[in-house]
Structure 1
Amino acid sequence: MSVQAGRGQAETAPTTLARVAGFLYLIVAVFTIFAGLVNARTVESGDAAATVDSIGTSATLFRVGLVSELMGATAFLLTSMALYLLLKHVDQLAAAAMVTFVAVSVAIQSLNLLNQKAALTIATGQDYAGAFEPAERDQLTMLFADMQHDGYLIAQTYFGLWLLPLGYLVVRSGYFPKALGVLLMIGCLGHLVDVFARFLAPDFGADISPFVMTPAAVAELSFIVWLLIKAVRLPVR
């Protein structure tokens, strides 16, 4: 009886880890997408005065967006840790690389939120009302908002790189369809193309972004669904 129970626990552990990782990954998607929508709604690209007015009238929403991104970043780190436990037996070096890329991404993303907080403070803080002329306040707020956007792109570099070892582990593990792992690795390339195109040729990068990011979006959403519904494919004994 004890041997059978031990085997049962060994077989359910990957399923449990997969569902935990899927739930955490879903939290990442929800909170990060919400934060992105908030920034897109409040920051008017190229219009400093409109951005200050928007942040001022939506200060609470802007704060919620900041906290949402921080929570998403935390959940992202926990997701990588759960996947490390699930996949380290496949290739421990690749699993460690996966977590390292995520840790770097989360560190940059979290520190970058200081730029968003600075934009909010300058746009709404009464303590700074007399420190700047209105035009100076507007431009400084826009500067920090732009820095937050660029900082997120830098973090996205590592958010893309983590998909490479993850895709490799997915292919090798036998837990998931191999096509899903290949799509995750293609998603890595899409993230990198998006980041470097936006930095090197901003207008061109913005134009191609929806196309190069589609494989990554499809792969990650499919992976979340698989983790939550199918969990893992265990060998039949």
Structure 2
Amino acid sequence: MNTNASTARLAGLLYLIVVLTGIFSLAYVPSQLIVAGDAAATFERLVAGQSLFRQGIAAGFVCYTAFLLLPLVLYRLLSPSGKTAAVLMVAFAIVSVPLSLVNLGHKLDVLTLISGADYLHVFTAEQLQTQVMLALAAYSSGLLVAKIFWGLWLLPFGYLVFTSRLLPRVLGLLLMAGCVGYLIDVAGRLLVPAYPDSLLADYATRPAALGEIGTCLWLLIFGARASAFTSDTTRRMT
């Protein structure tokens, strides 16, 4: 039980790092620096807010490193409830990490373009702005690929949470619904041009957010309950 509690809280701590750095790098920083459809304003904000932009990149590296470790700790906690599901959970999560890390290269390209280096003077202001927007667009496309696996890992993860009884079952349901939401979001952005402006785009990934933040806080604060497997084993032994 002590081992289970320690593993659960370690998973909660890693999850908290993923959540906080992810919100900062994926939501807060873009909201402060990116002006949709306005290359000149975006370029100006990026130049003025280079420090914040760099912090966002650093937070991304921390986020994806923590996310590399998180499923390995969760595997130790949840694998007794289903080895196959636990392996799939780890595989889907880990595949997303190199995709996400390589994708950060597009943000490093933006840093180069806004650096004001002498060799960039051969470009006009409009050309630099266009290249920055192209790099940001490439980054967004890379996120779309990573989102496939951010969604897929939630299905076996949610299943294990639901069946293990180590956490509230409602969290498992939210995580599995989050998988569906992520895949809907990816398909919508890829196939339906009007999707980003739709109501569905605002809510598709909400179940995932609720499930992941809820799971993170539960693991961190409460640890893990005694599993049904442990209880059954104890009863047989007595």
- TM-score scaled by length of structure 2: 0.90
Letter in 1 for 2:128: R
Aligned to 2:76: 85
Q: Does 1:15 align with 2:5?
A: yes
Q: CA RMSD in A?
A: 1.4
Residue 61 of structure 2, aligned match among 70, 78, 88: 70
Deviation at 1:77, TM superposition (A): 1.2
CA distance in 2 between partners of 1:23 and 1:149 (Å): 28
Q: Does 1:222 align with 2:184?
A: no
For residues 76-115 of structure 1, the aligned pairs below 5 Å read: 76-115=67-106
CA distances 1:10-32 after superposition (whole Å, capped 9, x unpaired)? x2111111100011101101001
CA distance in 1 between partners of 2:73 and 2:12 (Å): 9
Letter in 1 for 2:220: L
1:73–1:106: 8 Å Cα contact kept in structure 2? yes
1:19–1:228: 8 Å Cα contact kept in structure 2? yes
Residue correspondences, number:
227
Deviation at 1:130, TM superposition (A): 2.1
Deviation at 1:131, TM superposition (A): 3.1
CA distance in 2 between partners of 1:162 and 1:189 (Å): 11
CA distance in 2 between partners of 1:137 and 1:180 (Å): 46
Aligned to 1:44: 35
Aligned to 2:20: 30
Residue 203 of structure 1, aligned match among 194, 201, 221: 194
1:102–1:162: 8 Å Cα contact kept in structure 2? yes
Residue 131 of structure 1, aligned match among 105, 113, 122: 122
CA distances 1:49-96 after superposition (whole Å, capped 9, x unpaired)? 111111111111101100101101111111111101111222222111
1:122–1:128: 8 Å Cα contact kept in structure 2? no
CA distance in 2 between partners of 1:167 and 1:25 (Å): 15
SS at match of 1:129: helix
Deviation at 1:162, TM superposition (A): 0.5
CA distance in 2 between partners of 1:228 and 1:210 (Å): 28
Aligned to 1:8: none
CA distance in 2 between partners of 1:25 and 1:206 (Å): 30
SS at match of 2:224: coil
Letter in 2 for 1:80: P
Unaligned residue ranges in structure 1 (runs of 5+): 1-10
CA distances 1:178-221 after superposition (whole Å, capped 9, x unpaired)? 22212210111011111211122243234222211111111111
Deviation at 1:46, TM superposition (A): 1.5
Aligned residues with identical type, % of pairs:
38
1:198–1:206: 8 Å Cα contact kept in structure 2? no
* Structure-2 change in CA distance of 1:150 and 1:40 (3 Å): farther
Q: Does 1:142 align with 2:133?
A: yes
CA distance in 2 between partners of 1:133 and 1:57 (Å): 19
CA distance in 2 between partners of 1:202 and 1:111 (Å): 26
* Structure-2 change in CA distance of 1:217 and 1:206 (3 Å): farther
Aligned to 2:108: 117
1:166–1:184: 8 Å Cα contact kept in structure 2? yes
Deviation at 1:142, TM superposition (A): 0.6
- TM-score scaled by length of structure 1: 0.91
